[in-house]
């Protein structure tokens, strides 16, 4: 009988093992991540810092050959949001941050995070996984994804957006005052921690 579930998720990397400072938002550097999906298997990755709500978006373009032929079972993830593409996009994005801002990343149990061990080696960020069917465990990210849908509506092709357009949307969100931050913007909140 074949074992069900995600083979890359083990008990020591479940959300229940995440440090208390991540849970209570005591210090910045603990991120929540996800993918927002669009038509034709298009996607944009989202990273949201739990304390400051600072958002970074991952450009995940389709790979050469996408849509040219029927999908090959167990073939490469040409839609652009397979495990290697997501790992590489997170790495490119997160290495731009000071080390103190790369403490942990919490994600759902999607197959796009199957390369989490390599991500930990490459970037030094510990990855934790939510319980199955528990998106509320990444509430900061779920809220941000809702805000992002104002810019990237459901049932639209997200692959048409350039890296510059995606960066502009992240900048707009980071300049938007938030009640939970005492009406500071995420950019202001992050800047205070960096001083």
Q: What is the pLDDT of residues 8-36, one digit of tens each?
A: 778 789 999 999 999 999 899 999 999 99
**72 found inside a domain:** no
In a domain, 138, yes or no: yes
- Global confidence as pTM: 0.87
SS (H, E, C) the chain: CCCCCCCCCCHHHEHHHCCHHHHCCCCCCEEEEEEEECHHHCEEEEEEECCCCCEEEEEECCCCCCCCCCCCCCCCCCCCCCHHHHHHHHHHHHCCCCHHHCCEEEECCCHHHCCHHHHHHHHCCEEEECCCCCHHHHHHHHHHHHHHCCCCCCCCCHHHCCHHHHHHHHHHHHCCCEHHHCCECHHHHHHHHHC
Query: Per the structure, how many domains does the chain have?
Result: 1
170 located within any domain: yes
Residue 71 lies inside a defined structural domain of this protein: no
pLDDT tens digits, one per residue of 26-68: 899 999 999 999 998 899 999 999 999 999 999 998 765 545 5
CATH of residue 39's domain is 3.30.420.10
Q: Does a structural domain hold residue 68?
A: no
The boundaries of the domain holding residue 92 are: 11-63+77-194
Asked whether residue 111 is domain-assigned, the answer is yes
pLDDT tens by residue, 167-193 = 999 999 999 999 999 999 999 999 998
The pLDDT of 125-135, averaged and rounded, is 91
């Amino acid at each position: 009988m074949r074992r069900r579930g995600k083979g890359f998720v083990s008990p020591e990397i479940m959300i229940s093992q995440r440090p208390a400072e991540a849970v209570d938002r005591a210090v910045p550097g603990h991120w929540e991540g996800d993918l927002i999906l669009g038509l034709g298997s298009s996607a944009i990755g989202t990273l949201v810092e739990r304390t400051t709500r600072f958002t970074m978006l991952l450009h995940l373009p389709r790979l050469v050959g996408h849509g040219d032929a029927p999908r090959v079972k167990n073939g490469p993830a040409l839609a652009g949001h397979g495990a290697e593409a997501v790992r590489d996009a997170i790495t490119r994005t997160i290495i731009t941050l000071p080390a103190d801002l790369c403490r942990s990343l919490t994600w759902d149990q999607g197959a796009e995070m199957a390369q989490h061990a390599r991500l930990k080696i490459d970037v030094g960020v510990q990855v934790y996984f939510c319980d199955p069917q528990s998106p509320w465990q990444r509430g900061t990210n779920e809220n941000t994804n809702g805000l992002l849908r104002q810019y990237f509506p459901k049932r639209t092709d997200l692959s048409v957006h350039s890296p510059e357009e995606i960066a502009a949307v992240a900048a707009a969100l980071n300049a938007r005052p938030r009640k939970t931050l005492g009406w500071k913007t995420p950019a202001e909140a992050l800047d205070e921690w960096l001083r």
